[in-house]
Structure 1
């Protein structure tokens, strides 16, 4: 599914409360901007039996006291099973999820610091890390630009 279709899917499946679909539409350009930095439109996310995304705690080599919580996004189903150790836990599943939904969800996942996207099948050597704070910042900037544009009366000429 291409990025525009993923945005439309989020809008169509948002709570019809009069606000959420408009909010998704407003942040869509920011989500697309981030997604275009990645090579794929869909990734596999490891989930536990209740559907929660599996977090991995990473320690900084130079300072083991510093930790961050990340979610890995794999390019193929085979990469999940060969690199994550999922074969050791049959309860875990890997679900294909659109990149737009992943970026949208990271905003709400408070314990998550980053998502690491692996774009090259067969290796986890080169991942693209997208910090939650970066996604939030780009979304906030996009919303501010949209609100400035909507402050201008349509009949200004």
Structure 2
């Protein structure tokens, strides 16, 4: 699905109140900009039987006490089903998700530190990591002046927008 159509689906499926619709329209260019830098228009995300996305905790080799939680975005169904989480748990499914929807969901998922986008089918040893904080900063930079995100301010993007 082309990126403009993905963005329009996000806008169409957003809660139909003025603030949410305006916020979605304001962040759409940043989502599209990021999506254009990735190779695929959709990726496969592992999902539990309860429809939660599977998080993987990664430890820092130099500092084992430091951990980050990532979502893996696979380029093909075969790559997703070869992942250890998919193999170990028969309740885990690989679902196709448009790339802009993955980026949008990252904004709402406080428990996620990054998403790793595997770009080359069959190669799960190297991917493009997008940190949630970097995504938030890019969104903030692309918001028009009247949509500056501040807590309890008019134009504030609600934390539950996704």
Taking the aligned partners of 1:131 and 1:32, their CA distance within structure 2 comes to 16
- Counterpart secondary structure, 2:18: coil
Answer with 13-22 or 36-45: which moved more: 13-22
User: In structure 1, what is the equivalent of residue 112 of structure 2?
Assistant: 112
Larger gyration radius, structure 1 or structure 2: 1
- Asked if 1:5 is matched to 2:5, the reply is yes
Taking the aligned partners of 1:23 and 1:14, their CA distance within structure 2 comes to 10
Deviation at 1:148, TM superposition (A): 6.2
- Asked if 1:55 is matched to 2:62, the reply is no
Deviation at 1:116, TM superposition (A): 0.2
User: In structure 2, what is the equivalent of residue 45 of structure 1?
Assistant: 45
Report how many aligned residue pairs link the two structures: 147
User: In structure 1, what is the equivalent of residue 129 of structure 2?
Assistant: 129
Q: Which runs of 5+ in 1 are unaligned?
A: 150-157
Taking the aligned partners of 2:48 and 2:70, their CA distance within structure 1 comes to 15
Q: What aligned pairs does 1:15-30 form with structure 2 within 5 A after superposition?
A: 15-30=15-30
Equivalent position to 1:147, from 130, 145, 159: 145
Q: Which runs of 5+ in 2 are unaligned?
A: 148-162
- Asked if 1:87 is matched to 2:74, the reply is no
TM-score, with structure 2 as normaliser: 0.87
User: In structure 1, what is the equivalent of residue 151 of structure 2?
Assistant: none
TM-score, with structure 1 as normaliser: 0.90
Residues 61 and 13 of structure 1, relative CA distance in 2, 3 Å threshold: same
Taking the aligned partners of 1:138 and 1:43, their CA distance within structure 2 comes to 21
Taking the aligned partners of 1:36 and 1:125, their CA distance within structure 2 comes to 22
Deviation at 1:19, TM superposition (A): 1.7
CA contact (8 A) 2:85 2:92 kept: no
After superposition, the CA RMSD in angstroms is 1.3
Deviation at 1:96, TM superposition (A): 0.4
User: In structure 2, what is the equivalent of residue 64 of structure 1?
Assistant: 64
Taking the aligned partners of 1:138 and 1:119, their CA distance within structure 2 comes to 21
- Counterpart secondary structure, 1:54: coil
